[in-house]
A = this chain, B = another copy of it.
Amino acid sequence: MLQHTTSFDIRFSQAQVDQFAALSGDSNPLHLDADYAAITSFKRPIMHGILGAALFSRAMGMDFPGPGTVYMSQTLQFKRPMFVDTDYTVVLVVTAHDPVKHTATLSTEIKDKVTGKVCTSGEAMVMNVAVL
């Protein structure tokens, strides 16, 4: 029986954002340089949106449904920026499940933990190869 929803809280540091920049090669100063970010509408560095999206992969790969999960697709709408040293809540809800094909569709969302405002939303489709 597939659990229908999961959520967890997360907070990133600038050091983690710097690591992601090094790993991905995305050193856009908007993510790394406080002086540069200060002259944009964001006023301070924003996180890489894809680093937030990695949390959906984490949730699905680790426990929802868990190891053996393979990504089929993901849509991402980056509605509001994410900042370091800020608490966010990641929420996944299963919206469809095919027990024969071992596939599921989930809504995926990252919200500011305090304000509840949605930063990133989208839909994922996954298959679990561990049970094939």
Are B68 and A40 within 8 A (Cβ)?
yes
With the chains together, A28 CA to B81 CA distance in Å? Answer: 27
The interface residues of chain B lying within 8 Å CB-to-CB of A42 are 129
List 27 A–B pairs whose Cβ atoms lie within 8 Å, in order of A's numbering.
Answer: A16-B23, A20-B54, A24-B55, A24-B58, A26-B58, A26-B61, A28-B67, A28-B68, A30-B61, A30-B67, A30-B68, A30-B70, A40-B68, A40-B130, A41-B129, A46-B70, A48-B54, A48-B57, A49-B71, A50-B50, A50-B56, A50-B71, A50-B74, A53-B53, A70-B78, A72-B77, A74-B75
With the chains together, A74 CA to B132 CA distance in Å? Answer: 29
The interface residues of chain B lying within 8 Å CB-to-CB of A20 are 23, 54
Assembly stoichiometry (copies): 2
The interface residues of chain B lying within 8 Å CB-to-CB of A71 are 49-50, 76, 78
